[in-house]
Structures are given as structure tokens and as C-alpha cells.
Amino acid sequence: MHTVVVGTSGVTASDVLAVARGGARVQLSDEAVAALAAAREIVDALAAKPDPVYGVSTGFGALATRHISPELRAQLQRNIVRSHAAGMGPAVERDVVRALMFLRLKTVCSGHTGVRPEVAQTMADLLNAGITPVVHEYGSLGCSGDLAPLSHCALALMGEGDAEGPDGVVRPAAELLAAHGIQPVELREKEGLALLNGTDGMLGMLVMALADLDRLYKSADVTAALSLEALLGTDKVLAPELHAIRPHPGQAASAANMLAVLKGSGLTGHHQDDAPRVQDAYSVRCAPQVAGAGRDTMAHARLVADRELASAVDNPVVLPDGRVESNGNFHGAPVAYVLDFLAIAVADLGSIAERRTDRLLDKNRSHGLPPFLADDAGVDSGLMIAQYTQAALVSELKRLAVPASADSIPSSAMQEDHVSMGWSAARKLRTAVDNLTRVLAVELYAATRAIELREGLAPAPATRAVIDALREAGVRGPGPDRFLAPDLAAADAFVRDGRLLAAVEKVTGLLQ
């Protein structure tokens, strides 16, 4: 099995995906173990002094003014975990929790948190055993980081709370740890706070959303190309020289992908035939501009994610010169903003795909296709309600595009008087990505049916490959009305698991 080695300098997006979704094992580097031990020596030295140090010998947040005596400090660390594990609502997905745990381990291994090596090793042991703490939907304000979600993970390290085993069954964490020979940790000074204070949940969801959107933006280029083809549009607007004079890199990549899909098509260029058009509609002609802007938004989000993956987010932090200093690096604003930016881009991509689908179904705008792509219009309704479903999904995407990060609600007796709401931004983006997949599946379903109805005109080789693969996947072509939900579900799976891109890229080579 693949192993990810965690050092002191952060991790990569591919590391996160390998652990969160691929079940990769985690190993601490010798460098990380040494850094953990060195930072712990600093914390132990400060703990032995009479002077109060925040997070080491004081309370937390609005209670930071109280100096905690040595005999109460272990209880303090246990108490902060127990009291902060206050999430409510449904359990979040396993991959989110694994990303959360792994990214917290990444910061711990930086040597800036003061956590002992044995605590870090236990974190790795839980991941390697496939033990996933139960983390709830609600509880994080994104400042100081994802407190409640991380607290539920720390609770499992202590052998408390509930967790899901590798078999998917939820049991008491103590039972799961014992079954895998893992000793619960006894937290000491600074450790409880260090396990809770980070942007790990929102960052993990950002990394996974970017991976999913990389696939979906390429898929959207394919479905847009198929719709252009089905509408007998022109591919001249995709010429590289046109996009070179407005040099947005995402736009150029999207246009190049569409052009590659359409190479050799016998359907493009008929816009001057029976019903002459000077230009195609915006939803067809401007597809690269809209998808390209989303791609460029993703590039910015990826830059933010990479910086965060290289960061040590905690408060207070242990500095190389031996100081332990408070800071505000746990504030989730950098991550929250790009999560919201992406939700806006996703909503617009879904919106333009729906407009192309509607055009395919409207006999007044589809340039010769039957109403609703029905077999016997009037007797058959065709894809009328499939478009309703797509429209409902797009309407939901627009609601999900309302930024969470524009909100703030004070907490902790006004000590934490401005928060990022980054966890909320991440949760709604995760839903938006899921729904975008469905929107593109409906466009794919409509466009392939429309192309097959263009008798006597040969589609591009890449299009033919998509149609053949889609039919092999059990998604049926034109014909009388039938139960549509299974076809749409199969089309959704075809987009979601990458078979759409695989079919195209066998013909075109890798898309950009």
C-alpha cells in the first residue's frame, strides 16, 4: 500500500487525496520526530516556570487570564477537548474526516505546536487503522479554525466518543482503539489546544473540491462541445488566434479542449444552412469564456491551498528561537474566500450548461430537432422534465453561491468577535460540486440523444466514442418515453467516475 511520509515542511494536495480517499498509510519522518521532541522540550521548560504562558499554563479564549496550577493542567487539556466536541447534525463524510486528521497531523509534525512525538504517532496510528472519528455537520465557525470538528477527532485519540471502524460500523472509540492495539493518549500541557486549533477541515474539503472540479471542468468542455455539435454550431469561435488576443489561460485551455473534441465532426459549420445564423447563442459561443474564468478561479484557489498546505496553523506556536507566541494564523479567511469564489464559478458553469440543454429541447431554437427530443411529440414528452430537474439543480447552485465568508457571528464572549465561516463555505461547495456533476450529466444525456437524431450527419470521432461508451454503460438513446431516472443516474455515474473523460481522451489524448 502507498505510504505518505509526513515531514516538517508540509504536505501536497496529492498526499491529502492519497490518505483521505485512497487509504494510504501515514509515516512520520525522522526529521518530524526530532522536531516534535525539540519543540516539546521548550513547552516543558515553560510549563515548569511560574510565569503564565497562554495555552501552556492558562485557560483558553475569553478564559485566558486564569493561571492554571500544574496539578490541574492535564485535566484542563482533557476538558478543552471534551467541551469543544460539541458538534451537532449528521456525520460528515469519511474522506473529509480523514483529510481533517491528516492535515492536523501535518501541522503537529511541523515542530511548531509542542505536541509530543507519541501523540503524533497515535494520530498516524488511527489513520492507518482506518478508524474515523464521528464528526458532525455543525460546530465550526472557521475561527479559531475548525474547533468542534477537530475536537471530535481529538476525543477519539483519548479513547472517548464514537468512531467508525474500517468495516464502516460506528462503535465507541475505546473499543476500536483496543481492537487495533492502540493506547489512548493522556494529554499534557498545550496538547489539547494544539489538536483543535486549525483550518484543517475547510482546507481538506478545498483540496478535494479542486480535484473534483479539475475533472468536471474538463467534462464541461466535452458536454459544451457535444451541445455545439448537436445544435449544428460553428467551431470557428474556438480558433486559438481568437483566444490569444484575450490571453486568459483558462479560456484558451477550454477552447482548445472543445476544438479537440470536435475535430473531424460532420455536424459543425451548418449554421448557414436551412436556418441561417450569423452567430451562435452566447451559451454556445461563450462556453470557453465562462468555463475559462472558472478555471482561472481554480488556479487562484490552488495557490491558496498550496500555501496553506505548507503552513503550520496553531495558536500559540513554538518558534525556532524558543519563544511561544500567540497569533491569528488560525483565521480561515484565506481559505473561506476561495471556497466561496469556487461556489460562484460552479453555479455559473451549471447555469450555462442548463441554457444549452434548454436550447436543445426547444424546437424554435434547436435548428431542426424534434420538440423536447421526443420520439412522437405530444404522445411523448421526451426530456422535458429532465430539464426541469436540471433547472432545479441550477437554482440550488445559485443559492449555494451566496458567500458564507461575508457573514460573521461573534463568539467566546466577544473574544472571537470576527470569524471566517470557512467550514460552512466548504460544506456548501461540496454540495455544489455534487450537483454540478448532475447538471453536466443531464446536458450529456440531451446532447448525445440530439446528435443521434441528426441522421445523415457524422459526429466527431471523440463524440462517437462518448456515445458508444455511454450506451455500453446502460444509458439508452432516442426512443419512446420511458422511466428516465435510471438513465439520468447512469449518466451521472458516467461523468462522476471519469468514464466520460476516459472515452474522449482515448481519441483526443489528454485534455488540458
**Measured distance CA(498)–CA(436) in Å, rounded:** 14
Q: How are beta strands 25-28 and 3-6 bridged, if at all? A: parallel
Q: What is the DSSP string of 51-81?
A: S--TTTSB--GGGTTSBPPGGGHHHHHHHHH
3-state secondary structure 371-405: HHHCCCECCECCCHHHHHHHHHHHHHHHHHCCCCC
- The answer to whether 477 and 452 are in contact (CB under 8 A) is yes
**Which residue spans within 203-355 are E strands per DSSP?**
317-318, 324-325
Total count of residues recorded for the chain:
512
All residues at 6 or more sequence positions from 246 whose CB lies less than 8 Å from its CB, including other chains: none
Q: Annotated catalytic residue: which of 54, 282, 337, 445?
A: 54
**Measured distance CA(420)–CA(331) in Å, rounded:** 7
- The answer to whether 68 and 50 are in contact (CB under 8 A) is no
Around 131, how many Cα atoms within 13 Å sit in the side-chain half-sphere? 30
- Please, is 52 exposed, middle or buried when counting C-beta atoms within 10 Å of its C-beta (0-12, 13-18, 19+)? middle
Based on the residue annotation, tell me whether 337 is a catalytic residue of this protein: no
Q: Which helix (H) or strand (E) holds 194?
A: helix 191-194
Q: Cite the active site residues.
A: 54
